[in-house]
Amino acid sequence: MSIGDNLNPIKTLDKDTVWRLLAQHPFGRLAVEAAGLVDIFPVNYVVHQHKLYFRTAQGSKLSSLIVNDQVAFEIDEVTDEDVVRSVVVHGRARRLETRAEIEAAEELPLKPWAPTLKYNFVVIDVETATGREFTIADEPEHWPS
């Protein structure tokens, strides 16, 4: 496809597709900001009732969430047909505190990938979830007139 065939080769994904992709992919990147420093952490997660859940140990990730609960979360997919999809979530993250919340989270299929102890459950209450898609292609030689 050339740029002349479609002036905007990037397609916005509908909400159902965004949530389907989030549910399909068990791995993403969590972006946090605390004290003026932005950091990104790889996490495995699950989707449950339009929220994202992950587990973490004590450390900088959890400390960052206490200082600033506003987070971004991102996943990507590249298919065998060179289709690229990207989903970005914005929301508020919080450590689960009540026994009922923790027991419910323990029922989710959420196990640490790394052989480490991760006793803290975190939920991202999603405020926005958006996605984009495009097909990998050569850069056009020039813009159409």
CA–CA separation, 64 vs 86, rounded Å?
24
Mean pLDDT of 85-96: 96
Full domain range(s) for residue 31: 10-135
**Residue whose token pair is 């989030």:** 22
DSSP 89-102: EEEEEEE--SHHHH
Structural domain tally of the chain?
1
**What CATH number has the domain bearing residue 106?**
2.30.110.10
| Mean pLDDT value of segment 86-107 | 95
Residue 91 lies in a domain: yes
pLDDT digits (tens, 9 = 90+) for 32-77: 998 888 999 999 999 999 999 999 888 777 777 877 899 999 999 9
Round to whole Å and give the CA distance between 135 and 19. 20
Residue 64 lies in a domain: yes
Q: Is residue 60 part of a domain?
A: yes
Whole-prediction pTM value?
0.85
As given in the structure block, the two tokens for residue 53 are 């859940």
